Structure 1
Amino acid sequence: MTAIAPALRPAPGIRADQQVVVAELADNYAGSHTLPMAEAVVAAVARDGARRVTVASGGGYGLAVAHAAWRNGLRATVVQPARWPGEHGEAARAFGAEVVDADGGYEDAIADSRRRAGASGIADGNLDGPYHDVALRALTVALVRAVGQLAEPPTAVWVPTGGGLTAVAAAAALDARGWPSPLFAVTASGANAILASWPNSYRDLPRSAVTATRVNRPLARWSAAHGRAALTAVHLRHGRVYGVSDRSLRAAADRLAAANVLASPAGAAGLAGLQATPDADPGTHLVLVTSRPAVAA
């Protein structure tokens, strides 16, 4: 696997006493920060002797797994949530992947993918599955290289948050650098169990409590696989969890576009959180951009 060292680029400051630096984690063919995780997971699956890997994905992770599987001589099954099918299905099929729909949302696609693995001996490549540690290490390495491009610790780090794994990896990367920067996890208002749990212990939400839209769906989780670990990471880093609206997500993506940084609204959630926090400390804020808009074939 080739580790990615995401480029850090200046972005418009929120206030005169703030500088915003962007880590473009999605500057790759999959348009997603999950690329290094996909490559690491598929390589581990291949070493373990499996010939097929299954994952649930409504975005770039499925495409990245399909491509990595093709390169390693494996087959991939990508399970999409039927409620909001992914934008990369055809591209994944071009790499020989089987792309299927599962009734319901993302959590239902995860359950469907896991059943396929359990019933047929196919490797479970989901980010909360048996290769979770492999995925976490790969993303942490990418983030260590990203933050390492800064000369000194940032004032704060702002992370888009769905299932919580990126927040966990960001905290691990800061720990590896020995930097005390606070960590702020940003997700969709009214649509994420991590946000609903903050500042208390993690708990799943009823399905009916989550409203997913075309804008916020990468962040929407009634059950966040890494919710407990993410909350612990944010607490230990003296941060907090923020919720932002679809309008704020779109405004953040537009602001990044003005600085020549491509980001989907959900991938721009970190900047949306900073923009919504007028009392944020002065200094250099590191914003992680985790996804780009899909490019039409």
Structure 2
Amino acid sequence: MFRQITIILFLISQVIWAQSDDRDFQKELNYQSKAIQDLKNEIKSTRGRLSSEENREKSATRTIANLEEEISLVERLITQLKKEENSARGEINKLENEIAENEMELKELRIRYANRAIHVYKKGSLSDIDKVLSSTSWRQAVYRTKYQKIISQIDQQQKKQIRSLLVNIGKKKLNVEAILRKSISLKKEREKQMADLRVKRKQKKRELEKIRNSKTELAKYITQKEEGVKQLEELIGKIKDDKAKAERAERIRRQREALKTKSFAALKGQLSWPASGKIISKFGRKW
């Protein structure tokens, strides 16, 4: 783009020079110098924007890295909560089985009591004297009485133990269920946090991509501007060459006009040097 602009400017200057002998080289030089300065100012401003984009890129990269780390931590926490949830569910199942077993045992104990009550109701209860008289020996009577008392005591103890065990298991189950509910609630919160973090990470990655695209465009723009400066500097060099050629042509023209009006001797001290530079030796043969 800048190459096209400089070529157009150069062609315009050539056309103007061809159309007029009064070419204002200094004006052209001033114009091109101003154009170069404007480009340099624009390059400086663009470099500032590029530096700002680089800072934004670093910030976005750090943010993404922090989000990645936070996501990793939340993932590990969710995994741990899932393990706790599964463990709590397993414990609840185990307690439910224990409750079912103890309830079954208590039910069987109650059935035995019921059967005894039915037996006593149908046949009646023997008094201690009847038990003694119906026994074949005194020892048998004593054993029979003690046995019935022991059986009754054992049944009562088992009944109390089972009821106490059921109460304890029930309390433990309630505690585990509370832990399970808390674990599920925490897991849902962390999963929501995870979803939010992933959305933020996605947004930051899109932002980072835009920043990098912007950096690429700005760098390309700076390169184009620098190329434009280079071309304009080359154009200034050509203008200076044209100026030097024009000045030399003007000197020659004046000398020719002067030669037409005056003799060569009369022009002593008025003619310009045929070439510029320092004299390093005398003219003529040297021996």
Pair in the same fold by TM > 0.5? no
TM range (shorter): under 0.3
Task: Specify which structure has the higher proportion of helix.
Answer: 2
Q: Which has the higher strand share?
A: 1
Give the alignment's TM-score, normalised by structure 1: 0.16
| Higher RCO (C-alpha under 8 Å, 6+ residues apart) | 2
Give 1 or 2 for the bigger CA radius of gyration: 2
> What is the TM-score with the length of structure 2 in the denominator?
0.16
